Amino acid sequence: MSGKKLWWSVTAGVVGVAVAGVAGFGVLVQQYYGDLTHGPAYAVEAPVPLLVPAEAEAGVDNAALAARLTELGADPALGTVHGRVTDTVTGETVWDLNSGSPLQPASSTKVLTAAAAILELGPDDVLTTEVVAGDQPGTVVIRAAGDVWLTTEQMDELAEQVGQAEQVLIDLSVWDGDPFMPGWDPVDVDAGYIAPLEPAMLYGARIGETEGDVPRSHTPALDVARALAERVGATDTGTGTAPADAQVLASTDSPPLIERIDEMMVWSDNVMAEAIGHEIAVHRGQPGSAAAATRTTLEVLREHGFDTTGVTLADNSGLSIDNLIPPRLLGDLLLDAAADTRLRHLLATLPVAGGSGTLTDRYGDLSGRGWVRAKTGTLTDTSALAGVVTAESGRVYSFALLSNGSDILSARAALDRFASAIRDS
């Protein structure tokens, strides 16, 4: 990457906080999902000028920054920590600590899922859920497509197109395999962190709410069938196969992929991550299974030149304790997003320190507030932070940090201090 310049674009939303001098603590994130809200809407202020090339500033002292990061990386609060910090203008590795050795990544795994999806599917990809005529009179079949964020409004629209029916079935054949992944804890369904992997859900299978970590349904696809049945007057629901050449009675599209990735990254939504992983597999002509999803995710990354050596990908969300990722790969993806255009959309989906998503309540008075954009990751004894930050010098750095064997709150604070030190350089 050393020969490349970094071009900032408002359409990509690439860390506009740093280039534009946005008021307050930097940038605020635009919300895509109508009633799928997690907080008040944010508005992004446009950089002026719209395109600013980041040149190699004469006053940058990467050696001094490396020394400071070495000190902070030795903080006992981080337990076992591996990581890398890279100058995105020159491609220079500023700081490295065992970045080629994998650790548990927790939800920073979603960086891989997002990158592979953008590369394979493109940001505008949509999923179309259809309702078709069944084999028997009065029967309609929902042909699930993998959309796990169907809404009540979409159910109303489908019902209006369908009219009346006596039976509503749902065809789940686009996905197959075990609805639970190795390394998952089934209690996480009731805790709101995951749902059985089925290719149609209302609001991510949430029960009684449209957002947040609330209990999830154990029968998400049947819930969709029941929701349509209530609207079309049907008294019978179940699963079934749609006839091959069935008449399409109604259809509805998902939001574009990049909006779904934004929901996945900003709020670390595990259900969305697994659905996007399945979408990659199906697009490549593979079974819609969890195993195919992880396999094809890594295949896509390798095909685009990323080294996946050392990666064990047990799921696409990072919820599994069996995942292992070297920080080097996370750093490579983020460096590419900052220094090239093919993954530029990825940066716009990263939470803003002190401003959005899983970083809303972090950074307090730290200098990184508003200037750090990063994907978080949290499991028992595991904390992760991977993203980009603009230094006081104007130089932009990518970083990837994985901490294992550490207390969650103490490690988070240490990671935030580490990223803020990059901002101070």
Residue 250: CB atoms within 10 Å? 20
| 3-class secondary structure, 248 | strand
- The sheet carrying 382-390 orders its strands as 93-97, 80-87, 396-404, 382-390, 372-379
Q: Can 425 be counted among the known catalytic residues?
A: no
Nearest in space to 158 (alpha carbons), one of 136, 129, 125:
129
pTM over 0.85: yes
- Locate the domains of the chain by residue range: 6-123+261-423, 128-254
| Residue of 217, 268, 289, 320 marked catalytic | 268
Angle among Cα 390, 72, 368 to the nearest 5 degrees reads 30
* pLDDT confidence bin for 28, thresholds 50/70/90: very low
Average pLDDT (387-391) is 98
Q: Was domain 6-123+261-423 assigned CATH 3.40.710.10?
A: yes
Alpha helix stretches (DSSP H) within 122-219: 152-162, 187-191
State residue 181's pLDDT score: 82
Percentage of residues in the chain having pLDDT higher than 70: 86
- What is the distance between the terminal CA atoms of the chain, rounded to a whole angstrom? 21
Catalytic annotation present for 108:
no
DSSP 3-state percent helix, strand, coil across the chain (nearest 5): 35, 20, 45
The rounded mean pLDDT for the chain is 89
Lowest-pLDDT choice from 145-149, 303-307, 319-323:
319-323
DSSP state letters, 138-153: TEEEEE--SEEEE-HH
Record the tokens describing residue 221, joined without a space.
Answer: 């696809």
Q: State how far the Cα of 104 lies from the Cα of 403, in Å rounded to an integer.
A: 8
Of 108, 110, 289, 403, catalytic = 110
User: Tokens standing for 28?
Assistant: 């605020």
User: What is the C-alpha separation between 84 and 224, in angstroms, rounded?
Assistant: 44
Name the β-bridge partners of 143. 130, 171
* Residue 201 CB burial class (10 angstroms; 0-12, 13-18, ≥19): buried
User: Can 398 be counted among the known catalytic residues?
Assistant: no
Task: Judge whether residue 236 has pLDDT over 90.
Answer: yes
Q: What's the CATH class of domain 128-254? A: alpha beta
- Set 107, 254, 317, 383: catalytic member: 107
Could you tell me if 108 and 385 are in contact, meaning their C-beta atoms sit under 8 angstroms apart?
A: yes
Q: Quick one: which of 63, 101, 67 has its CA closest to 82? A: 101
Whole-angstrom Cα distance, residue 312 to residue 307? 13
Quick: pLDDT tens for 325-337.
999 999 999 999 9
pLDDT tier at 57, thresholds 50, 70, 90: low
